[in-house]
Amino acid sequence: MAELRYNPLLRDWTIVASNRQNRPHMPKDYCPFCPGSGKVPDDYVVYKYDNDFPALRADPPEPDPVATNLYKTAPAYGRCEVILYSPEHTKTLPDLSVDHIVQLVELWTERFAELSRDPKHKYIMIFENRGEEVGVTMPHPHGQIYAYSKMPLKIQTELAACKAHHDEHGSCLLCDMNREEKAFGQRVIIENDHFLCYLPFFTDYPYGVFIVSKRHMTALTDFTPEEKRSLAEILKQTTGAMDELFDRLFPYMMVLHQRPVNDVDAEAYYHFHIEFYPPLRAKDRIKYYASSEMGAWAATNPLCVEETAVQLREAHRKFMEKVGKTNE
């Protein structure tokens, strides 16, 4: 069963994908993403792999005949792709060279451009789930890309906020956030020529950093080669700092926020950024999204970000020492 069901309370769509119940869960004796499996090339660097258990597909079945005037259904149209980071089974982003991550950024860019060409696609989301704490079912390092035929509610909300700010102030909200964070300084973790990494003033995760482009641009396809390399550098350093924080593989959800595709022109008011949602609040403690967060969307951060930013900056310093570079 695969279909979309409309939620009239939130004016949003729920993806129903019962086929995903059949996914393997952290297999120990076989990996389809490793060379030699017969599923992937034997000599890849990074690789796009069509998801074996897609929630969205280019040839979706017709929805079950259960719709009414109130309860609407729609085909689960879209695409679900897996992006393999490396042929090596245990190498995650901090372990990869910057040159290697540049090739990953190039593949992300190619897939964003290609999936954008389908007029039925409305939003392309590139993301990574890392660690068993966030539900990873395959241990081989990888990310994913979903191409949605309906604009997700959170993205709608973020776009509306950015447009309202632009209409009221004549400026980009994320550009203004960059200026505020740079001026205050205490929440900035890493800065390079083209990107800032900081813990936003409002983040609801203790270590929920944003990576934001300094230049106003809305998607990977806007990047220069130099900006792609800078993004690779700050991705390696950010995830490396996270691993140093508690001296363990740091679980997170990472999402690239880019402009919508087809129908919505957000060039003036939207801004490329990456959001991290890491569930840890201590080495062995989870920050759960409990009843208040889920029932009312009343986010609660159990730690002060001005204090956790200090911890992340120190973790970044340690990571840079480990890889043989200074923090200058």
Residues acting as catalytic residues: 142
CA angle 216, 221, 222 (to 5 degrees): 30
Q: Under a CB-based contact definition with an 8 Å cutoff, are residues 271 and 256 in contact?
A: no
User: Which DSSP symbol is given to 57?
Assistant: B
User: What is the SS3 assignment for 285?
Assistant: strand
- Beta-bridge mates of residue 127: 144, 255
Question: Which residues have a Cβ under 8 Å from the Cβ of 71 and sit 6 or more positions away?
Answer: 5, 6, 8
Find out whether 259 and 218 touch, Cβ atoms under 8 Å. yes
φ and ψ at 98, to 5 degrees?
-60, -40
193 and 230 Cβ atoms separated by less than 8 Å: yes
Tokens matching residue 16: 């129903």
Q: Which amino acid is at 73?
A: T
Q: How far apart are CA 106 and CA 108, in angstroms?
A: 5
User: How many Cα neighbours within 13 Å face the side chain of 30?
Assistant: 6
Query: Any idea which residue has 């993301």 for tokens?
Result: 127
How far apart are the C-alpha atoms of 140 and 85, rounded to whole Å?
Answer: 9
